[in-house]
Amino acid sequence: MRRLLFPLLFCLLLTGCANKVVRGNQAFNKRVLFQFTVQGRLALNNPNVTYYIVLNAPSGRPDSTIDPTLEGPRVNGVSLNNGAEFLLGRLPFVGLLPGDIESKWTDFYYLQGSASGTGVMGRGRLVNGVPEILVRNYPNSLWRVLNDSSFEVQILFSDLTSAVAAADAATPGAVTATPPPPPLNFTANLATGDNIEVGGQGFLFDRWRANVPFAIRTDVGTPFEDLDPDTQLVMRQIPGKIIPQLPPGVNAADVNISAYRYQIIQ
């Protein structure tokens, strides 16, 4: 009897471990399927145009609600204290002018036009209080151009600050570790600007409706979409910076944000 008992217990332990690994993998496979649409045509052939999805996905907030108004990304423009040779001087969602609400963000994704005409997708994060581009060639399997006006990107929960911080804190090699639940929602904002790389001037062309962040729920469910009916570009001038101007061959409609759509999938 004892000989039969030990193999049975061993099998149960293995099964329990396997279940934990599966649950962990399912949590990390969760993603946001996000679509970004402009009024005109995406300027995929022009490196001097960049489309941004900016997120606030903080760590240490499992199963909590994040208020978009109080804790959302704000597209106020670039940093006043940094020139265009620094990334802080080119990202249009890091600045703060008098009267602005502070931008609270953790991660960003961007689509930049390219000489090949296909565009380049990348992603970045706030690292120790400083923005960094982490991936300049996001996998082609995780993004695509849907039509002349829209692109779609898969934003992996496991790449976001809310999950990465938890993974960093986990015991290395602990295959049974399961990531904590994400917040009940992320907050987000959208922007268009010029070249994100060195050579860009930090121009802000447009931003999501009235610069009010929106919520992205993190539970798997039906798609959600919203429209921005404003056809006027922001073209915000930052004191001490060059006045924004569209690149040659780019129309206002090509950088005018008109809609977004998202769905959580697993």
pTM: predicted TM-score of the whole model, two decimal places: 0.88
The tokens describing 147, both together, are 């039509």
DSSP 8-state secondary structure symbol assigned to residue 155 = E
What is the H or E stretch that residue 7 is in?
Answer: helix 2-29
DSSP sequence for 176-200: T--PPPPPSEEEEEEEEES-SSBTB
Q: Give CA separation, 242 vs 54, 71, 181, 195, 200, in Å.
A: 23, 29, 44, 14, 11
Q: What mean pLDDT comes out for the span 41-62?
A: 97
| pLDDT for 3 beyond 80 | no
Reported confidence tier of residue 181, pLDDT bands at 50, 70, 90: confident
- Percent above pLDDT 70 for the chain: 84
Mean pLDDT, the chain, integer? 89
DSSP structure class, residue 32: E
pLDDT tens per residue, range 118-161: 999 999 999 999 999 999 999 999 999 999 999 999 999 999 99
Q: Are 189 and 107 in contact (CB under 8 A)?
A: no
Q: How far apart are CA 150 and CA 144, in angstroms?
A: 9
User: Is 107 in contact with 124 (CB distance < 8 Å)?
Assistant: yes
The pLDDT tens digits for 99-112 are: 999 999 999 999 99
Q: Using the structure block, give the residue that is written with the tokens 């950088």.
A: 255
Retrieve residue 31's tokens. 């993603």
